[in-house]
Structure 1
Amino acid sequence: MHANDTKMELGSGVDRHENIGDGFIGLDGFEAIMAHEAFRDVPFLLEVPGPEKKGPDRENVERIKAIRDRLGISVDAQ
């Protein structure tokens, strides 16, 4: 599943990506999504602007990993 936070509120009809935790979804929103049974084992592909609009970076990856670790989601090397 591609994952990004959003600069715009739900229902705006605008798809503006934001870094993980910096938009309207927020870190709590990502934790709720990742904790849901339907998404618990689904890999995420980050689609974020990054700190200088250069794409995904280590900080965004670490934010997702921290949520995964808090939820106790294991990663299978397949």
Structure 2
Amino acid sequence: MKQDRVAKNEEETGSYTLFGAKIQSKLKLGKFQSDIILSGQNLFNQTYFNHMSYYRALEIPEMGRNIQLIIQIPF
């Protein structure tokens, strides 16, 4: 949501929408078992500013696209 109800001498912050997704699966090969997770945040690489962040005043945007592949192997 757009932050337009701000304190005196404070700038407004525009609105933004972020998209993310996550896929998780189990892999079994004999006695070997692991979990595989593929996740992504800010998939459309939206430039945005957190209204409560100090970096907004410096015009440094929040993190862009983030894609992770996680393989969990129990031992």
* TM-score category (smaller protein): under 0.3
Q: Would you tell me which structure has more strand in proportion to its own residues?
A: 2
Q: Would you tell me which structure has more helix in proportion to its own residues?
A: 1
Larger Cα-atom Rg: 2
Tell me the TM-score normalised to structure 1 length.
0.25
